[in-house]
Structure 1
Amino acid sequence: MAERGAHLTAASAHEDQPSIFEVVAQDSLMSALRPALQHAVKVLSDSNPERWGWLWRGFDEAFALLELLLQHHFLSRHGGSFAENFYGLKRVSVDDGRSHGLSAGLRLRSLCLLVVAPYVGAKLGRLVGRLREEQDYAIHPPSSLRGRLCRAALAMYPFAALAWEAWVLAQQIGYLLGKAQHHSPLLRMACVRLVRMTTQDWQQDSSVRKSSSLSLWLSTGLSVGVFFLQFLEWWHSPENQESLRSLTALPPPPPPLHLDLGLDSPPAMLPALRTLCPLCRKVRANEAALSTSGFVFCYRCAHAYLKAHQRCPITGYPSHTRHLVKLYAKEER
């Protein structure tokens, strides 16, 4: 099995074609960049809504504009998208092969499929979510034209999404087996394929980077920024937060010690049942908690004890009647 897997991995290296691991890795780079950057913008918006609230409200448009400038720069100068160039890949025409760079038409088509298609997909997902909320809360009557259109769109969307995912999976399987030139339907629509950069490409790319300080700053800054944003996404992921909570979870502290055992009125002891008042030993009535210690008593018992002794009946902590907090529980019927 291992030899078979190695054969499949090595087979994709024919004619400098990247392996399935390289192309999937560059796809996941941009898919991880968006949620990480979105979380950073949300933190800024929550910390200063007046200054950064507009950025959170128009995040889709701002991210699309940023990605448009980024992808246009890398397609024009390096012959591939930012993620593809990051992994040492470039785009070539399916018809012309490696000897020719991308024409203006292919760059425009690639730019639309890299930026416009994800933007439309994100907007479509938000629209479907809003339609589901409208249907759940019955905002529009079911008999109205809008209600019928909403039901039809919600019924068709899962099948369309499933068909798209099946197409992507079929393309990746065909690419893995060496039966397809593209691992993604978007590359097929763009009429380009991915190849590894040659030594000449690396030398030319290095000369371009050295001749342009902006390109050098952009490439270095984006490499560091991508690492930081991926780390930020991992840090705030539910799995990591759950592991952090399990690591930082501490056992509950022991009950506080009695402080004033030498007084003429010793502190009360806790009853066996939690529903009983420690002072009157009866089921608590008109419950009240003492904020200095957290124990719960009958309000009348605690109020009288605090007026007489000015301390918690259990712990001996100095307390006053103003430290009593009334508890209002839902009455059982």
Structure 2
Amino acid sequence: MAENAANLTATLQVKPSIFEIIAQKSLNDILQPAFRKLAEVLATNFPKRFAWLNNYCEESFVVINWLLQYNYLKNYDSTFSENFYGFKRMCVDGKSLSNHHIELSLLFIVLVPYFKRKFDKKVTLYMIEEADGYFKQASILGTNLRRKM
């Protein structure tokens, strides 16, 4: 009797391991750089058709990622990477995800990372411009910027 139930315990594991969670997150994080590389290759090899894709890579990825994640959330109750590792999102009452839950999930899965990337780019650009302005001002004033040892 116990030998029949022994094989069921492995499949009834409710909580994923930390390694599965990290792997799922890594797969989700690699989608955008992979799409960017694909856009570069297509724009290089077929410039007449795909130059626009390289120019609007971020926005194109948001649209494609939105459609991909929406499809998986609607059909499988999980995102693409969650479904790949066998995870599933569930409501507290055990029902399937409602449209409201799907919309909130899409907001945090697709749009928040997009705006974070845009914000980080602007901050980096601002920091470079500020540093450049500081060094130009120092060179105009004749200030030595080297550290004293």
> TM bucket by the smaller chain?
0.7 to 0.9
Per the normalisation by structure 2, the TM-score is: 0.75
- In the other structure, the counterpart of 1:106 is 101
For 1:81 and 1:43, locate their aligned partners in 2 and report how far apart those are by CA, in whole Å.
27
How many matched pairs? 126
Equivalent position SS for 2:90: strand
List per-residue Cα deviations over 1:187-218 (Å, max 9, x = no partner). Answer: xxxxxxxxxxxxxxxxxxxxxxxxxxxxxxxx
**1:137 equivalenced with 2:132 (yes/no):** yes
List per-residue Cα deviations over 1:105-131 (Å, max 9, x = no partner). Answer: 111111111101111111112111221
- In the other structure, the counterpart of 1:32 is 30
Report the Cα offset of residue 84 of structure 1: 0.5
For 1:132 and 1:46, locate their aligned partners in 2 and report how far apart those are by CA, in whole Å.
31
CA RMSD after TM alignment: 2.4
Report the Cα offset of residue 15 of structure 1: 6.2
- In the other structure, the counterpart of 2:141 is none
- Of Structure 1 and Structure 2, the greater helix share is in 2
Equivalent position SS for 1:101: coil
Equivalent position SS for 2:88: strand
Q: How does 1:189-208 map to 2 (within 5 A)?
A: none
**1:71 equivalenced with 2:94 (yes/no):** no
**1:123 equivalenced with 2:121 (yes/no):** no
Aligned residues: percent identity? 34
Higher Rg of the two aligned structures: 1
Report the Cα offset of residue 35 of structure 1: 1.0
- In the other structure, the counterpart of 1:60 is 58
Q: Which amino acid aligns with 1:36?
A: A
Equivalent position SS for 2:118: helix
Gap runs ≥5 in structure 1: 1-12, 143-333
For 1:103 and 1:24, locate their aligned partners in 2 and report how far apart those are by CA, in whole Å.
26
Per the normalisation by structure 1, the TM-score is: 0.35
Q: Which amino acid aligns with 2:83?
A: N
For 1:54 and 1:138, locate their aligned partners in 2 and report how far apart those are by CA, in whole Å.
33
For 1:41 and 1:104, locate their aligned partners in 2 and report how far apart those are by CA, in whole Å.
31
For 1:136 and 1:57, locate their aligned partners in 2 and report how far apart those are by CA, in whole Å.
27
Gap runs ≥5 in structure 2: 1-10, 138-149
1:20 corresponds to which of 6, 18, 21: 18
Question: 4+ residue runs of structure 1 moved beyond 6 angstroms?
Answer: none
Report the Cα offset of residue 91 of structure 1: 0.3
Equivalent position SS for 2:133: coil
- In the other structure, the counterpart of 1:202 is none
Distance of aligned partners of 1:132 and 1:50 in 2 relative to their CA distance in 1, 3 Å threshold: farther
Distance of aligned partners of 1:137 and 1:48 in 2 relative to their CA distance in 1, 3 Å threshold: farther
Distance of aligned partners of 1:137 and 1:47 in 2 relative to their CA distance in 1, 3 Å threshold: farther
Distance of aligned partners of 1:49 and 1:138 in 2 relative to their CA distance in 1, 3 Å threshold: farther
Report the Cα offset of residue 61 of structure 1: 0.5
Q: How does 1:173-192 map to 2 (within 5 A)?
A: none
- In the other structure, the counterpart of 1:44 is 42
Q: Which amino acid aligns with 2:111?
A: V
Q: Which amino acid aligns with 2:121?
A: R
Q: Which amino acid aligns with 1:17?
A: K
Distance of aligned partners of 1:108 and 1:100 in 2 relative to their CA distance in 1, 3 Å threshold: same
Q: Which amino acid aligns with 2:129?
A: E
